[in-house]
Structure 1
Amino acid sequence: MVAARIHATAVIDAAAQIDSSVEVGPYAVIGPHVSIGAGSTVGAHCVIEGRTTIGADNRIFQFASLGAVPQDKKYAGEPTELVIGDRNVIREFCTFNIGVPGAGGITRVGSDNWIMAYTHIAHDCRVDNHTTLANNTTLAGHVHLADWVTIGGLTGIHQFVSIGAHAMVGFASAVSQDVPPFMLVDGNPLAVRGLNIVGLRRRGFSTARVRVIKQMHRLLYRQGLTLAAARAAIAELPAEDAQQDVAMMLDLLDASSRGIVR
């Protein structure tokens, strides 16, 4: 570690693996089983503990708590983990917990995520890449957010819920069922309002791909079909350039353990 990058008041265990380019602010506390990659910054008063691995070029703002034990009464001190990728922005007062045994024992946050203040990511969650989580987003245990998901502020997500890629959840929503990819949902009770068409266009989806995604939306939500019938019809769509989009939809429908919002 380079002394000039570590504030004199920071408390860093000698066993921690901190790249020499990492900056650590005043009064931060970093435990012995922590690893932080090149170019990352840790703000004032952060606490990073547990078996926590943080990649390169992350910006962790002041007062964040990463790697604390899970808020699960079954946890009994087992050596579980928190793994964070690269280039994430983690704002003030965020809390990410390590996992619990029996479910993989790892909480994972991918890369290029924009995670705003007071967000909570509970044990064994998986947040993939390029997500945006607005202020006070709360993820219960075992939640999965796929790539490019956007969550509005003050939203709570029930344990074991999956939210598919490119979906958007509106402000102050209560998410207790799985959300298929590409959908725009909000409310309490949660309802599908349409497609996240603005997000798809911003990410360069072709007209052909958007056409197929619109067809999947109609089959699921506009034609009065049973879920089984809608799933069968989606599987028969002439996907053209949207084969991966159809496959992603079918994967979520088939894997859903809580049922999808309908």
Structure 2
Amino acid sequence: MANIHSTAVVDPKAQLGDDVIVGPYSVIGPNVTIASGSQIGSHSIIEGHTTLGKGNKIGHFSVIGGNPQDMKYAGEPTRLVIGERNMIREYVTIHTGTIQDNGLTTVGSGNWIMAYVHIAHDCRIGNHAVLSNNAQLAGHVHVGDWAIIGGMTGVHQFVRIGSHAMVGGASVLVQDVPPFITVSGNRATPYGINVEGLRRRGYSTDVITALRGVYKLLYKSGLRLEEAKKKIDSIASLETPVVSQEIRGFLDFLGMATRGIVR
């Protein structure tokens, strides 16, 4: 049975799993589903067509599932789906999707989302990402697994941040960030491969060395992007399957970049 504080307001239609804790003065709307083991801090609002998986922790004064800040939004029943075991701290705002995209905002599992972060409509956050204090994501932004976004960073709509990428604090992103690299600044520019992050996650020396070579081809060779991609493709074909898989993933990301990549 859920543990609901006497001052909280929980709509009878809301579905709360076993051991869910709802703190003082929080409000849970009718179209909300919260799985077992989740904790909702005081004065938080969970609204909209929102689903939270198991073991999430929502900080005080957060607003989860609010309407998208999009002037085209006309009240459609768009959704927000959040996975499991996410830490979502104080004053975080996460909005539902819009029908101009696929009507869905998603947050994966195991993410650490710090205070005052904003995740706008139609964003897609992977797993194990870190969004530091006051990181601000505009609509339709995609963030890959294990990516780190520094505090006070602003991300333009439709930007994609690749897996294992690291964005320095107070950066401004208006173009895509390929996987594995570190960027920083206003506007953000690349500073090499996220070597320390890859080591911590068990990537081998061979993979890291190969990715450093890919980075040099992309950013240090003077080649045009299409020329660099051909060179990178030829390298992938000569590597071991494990190394080749990571390089191919890098190439796939480049092939889907619609806003260009940080340069």
Instruction: Using structure 1 for the length normalisation, give the TM-score.
Output: 0.98
> Equivalents in 2 of 1:216, 1:239: separation in Å?
12
Q: Structure 1 residue 12 and structure 2 residue 45: aligned?
A: no
Number of aligned pairs? 260
- What is the CA deviation profile of residues 62-94 of structure 1, one whole-angstrom value per residue up to 9, with x for unaligned ones? 101000000000000001000000000000000
Equivalent residue, structure 1, for 2:152: 154
Equivalent of 1:199 in 184, 193, 197? 197
- Aligned residues of 2:47 and 2:66 also touching (Cα < 8 A): yes
- Deviation, structure 1 residue 211: 1.3
Deviations 1:197-224 (A, max 9, x none): 1100000100111111111101101111
Match of 2:119 in 1: 121
1:226 aligned partner: 224
Unaligned runs of at least 5 residues, structure 2: none
Structure 1 counterpart of 2:54: 56
Contact 2:113 2:131 in 1 (8 A): yes
Alignment correspondent of 1:244: 245
- 1:98 pairs with one of 96, 99, 105: 96
1:239/1:246 contact within 8 Å kept:
no
Q: Given the alignment of the two structures, is residue 137 of structure 1 paired with residue 138 of structure 2, yes or no? A: no
Write out per-residue CA displacement over residues 154-184 of structure 1, whole angstroms, 9 at most, x where no aligned residue: 0000000001110000010000000010110
CA distance, structure 2, for counterparts of residue 42 and residue 124 of structure 1: 23
1:26 aligns with 2:31: no
| SS at structure 2 position matched to 1:142 | coil
Q: 2:163 is matched by which residue type in structure 1? A: A
C-alpha distance in 2 between matches for 1:247 and 1:28: 46
Identity score, percent: 54
User: Within 2, Cα distance between the matches of 1:247 and 1:89?
Assistant: 32
Which residue does 1:208 correspond to in 2?
206
Which position in structure 2 is the counterpart of 1:71?
69
Report the alpha carbon displacement of residue 60 of structure 1 after superposing the two structures with TM: 0.6
- In the alignment, which residue of structure 2 is the partner of 1:43? 41
Give 2:175's aligned residue: 177
Give distance in 1, aligned partners of 2:211 and 2:128. Answer: 20
* Segments ≥4 residues shifted beyond 3 Å: none
* Structure 1 residues 99-143: Cα deviation after superposition (integer angstroms, max 9, x where no partner): 000210000000000000000000000000000000000000000
Q: What's the counterpart of residue 255 of structure 2?
A: 254
Q: Which amino acid aligns with 1:251?
A: D
Whether the 8 Å contact between 2:192 and 2:212 is mirrored in structure 1 is: no
Is the Cα contact below 8 Å between 2:126 and 2:144 reproduced in 1?
A: yes
SS of 1:123's partner is: coil
Hey, what's the Cα distance between the residues in 1 that align with 2:18 and 2:166?
38
- Partner of 2:175, secondary structure, is coil
Q: Helix, strand or coil: the match of 2:244?
A: helix
Distance of 2:43 and 2:200 partners within structure 1: 37
Matched, 1:217 2:191: no
- 1:84 aligns to what? 82
Would you say the 8 A contact 2:164–2:197 is kept in 1? yes
CA contact (8 A) 2:20 2:39 kept: yes
Residue 247 of structure 1 deviates from its aligned partner by 1.8
Deviation sequence 1:21-66 (CA, Å, 0-9, x none): 1001000000000000111000000000000000000111110100
